[in-house]
Structure 1
């Protein structure tokens, strides 16, 4: 039986088996491993101060109260991590730190502010950075002065001001606040990012308000009023007891009051419609008040004079009392006379009524009457050469016998025998003479 020859297997398939590595190769490989380990160790050791090959925006900040700020504390803007604190030190009596910031916040302006805030109740802090809105851009390694930095009061310091009972209540409050804030981290971060701008605007408004002298006077007056009220505060508290008793019937009759308030809107609408009709009268009263204001200003002087007149008239009024007493005795005869005249008053009314047409005709002819009596006055005032006082001319003409025929009668007579009132004067002044 023939044998089947099987080729001998070689290491690596069709490749010959590798030769063993030399000692030099192993030493080099070990050196590379050692260098890599040292490099990783160095990078890991220095990584809190910065990652090699990455750029940063570096600033400095000075603090009057750094509040135990230490190496690698975080720097945040509105809750977002943007850098860390490095190299805390003391320079000229102030705490100075380096701020290693992400390049995306560059450049910050010179009015940027910093505040050291607690990150946890156990004392961990972070630096809250509020970017400025005006000023010059801050360059590399520029320093933010201590006038623009501050630190918050720590929670333990605030709690030290409370006694045991209030600390227990504060603990309950904080626990309940924790329940309320649970799951609202994003909302809180957004509120924190908007809060600095809001508080800055609020500070500007408060500064403008407090700069007013009237506000300072009001605050000072309020302080004085509070100081004056402090000794009698218990009496003031007891003084509200009558008001409380006065309000008690309203509480007892709250159902009736509720019913009244339910129907009140309809009644108020009716009153409102009525007020709309009253508005024109109020407008007129307002105009009357404005017009009468000058008279009211003068009224005080007038009233003072009137008061003086009454004081001076007192003796005369005393004498007038006697006169009025005598006049009262004349009242019955006067009434008797009026009763006697009453029957003839209708005839007197008829007489006056019959005179009305004559008066109506003569009333618009005042100028004609004045001319008529003026002419008679001139006629009677002077005589002629024969000592005749009454002067008049007799004009003999056809019209004086047959009447007026509508034609002009001459230079001194007018065309109409029945002229309108004052027509003679108008024609005279118009050149009709």
Structure 2
């Protein structure tokens, strides 16, 4: 009997091995699916990026939202000038070939979890990129700020606070659908009324930019006490909780009555605007003074502290001041005081006129001091016959007899010039030159305009 040929399908070992081989091939194909299927031609390009931005192999490559390929590899590359760029290899479908040479690229987020993809924007160049060409870093669009980058700016405590805030906001909106619907219903009317308000704020006359700058400076001043202000929030919570107890109907009624007030303010705002402009100019004029006051705040604070200590001592001075005040009051009530003050005023006026005359006599000619000096020398100086007080008259005998007219050789100056007003500053007394013949009154000419001390006694001979 002839043995029949055995079938391969009847061998369970071969069937199992074939099944395992097919499964391995499927696994390999599935594992390498992101990097392209074997035996399939692709359109490969390289792109340069200023930053890899967490781009990983397997990320999609898209044009106009349609997927056309994947990222095969990403590696850093150091240029000759020391700059580091990220070079990514892209494996694109043949349907995308060819791309213009000025094609631009951008790395964008695909989800909030940090997944990225490369977006290509076709250019208009007539030169096309061939497989293996490189898109330079100059054609990479400036990278936007992604959500994951924004979140990484905050520390762990801030991110945790954001999470709690989102939960609290969710709880706040829960069960308030009708209120939100009511808000959406009145929102168009509110936006219509908001339009003129925003128009006024946009007016340069409102100086909104300076206001915001002032708020920024205020925030800078408040920053050092931010921790203290943070402790204020729990206290405000207790305050608002107390308000919540009287929110209805008291606070609600107050809000309702505030609506007519707001309408009145809106009507009167046009009349108030000139006053506000003048107030703005006044504040601008006061700004230098405020700056000076800021610089002087330190000394003023010291002065106030000194003033507090001085005020503490003032009560001890009140009793003597009371006695002095009563004495001044008695003096003011005395009827003789006005007469005495009037007499003193007349005396001062007369002495003032005398001083007006004597002042140039002494300041320019020194006659007052010379008078007292010579007066003292008359009784304190002299010669062997006595002091100068013992003197005699030397007269010409013929002049001693009565005459009908003055003598032809008479020299007499009753009122010599002594620097008084109207004398041209002449110091004439004691310096009159001798002139032959009769000379009565001031000697013609200016003798001299200053007076040296008169020397008497033995010193005159030297």
User: Do the structures match in fold with TM over 0.5?
Assistant: no
Query: How would you bin the TM-score normalised by the shorter chain?
Result: 0.3 to 0.5
Q: Which is richer in helix?
A: 1
With structure 1 as the length reference, what TM-score do the two structures score? 0.42
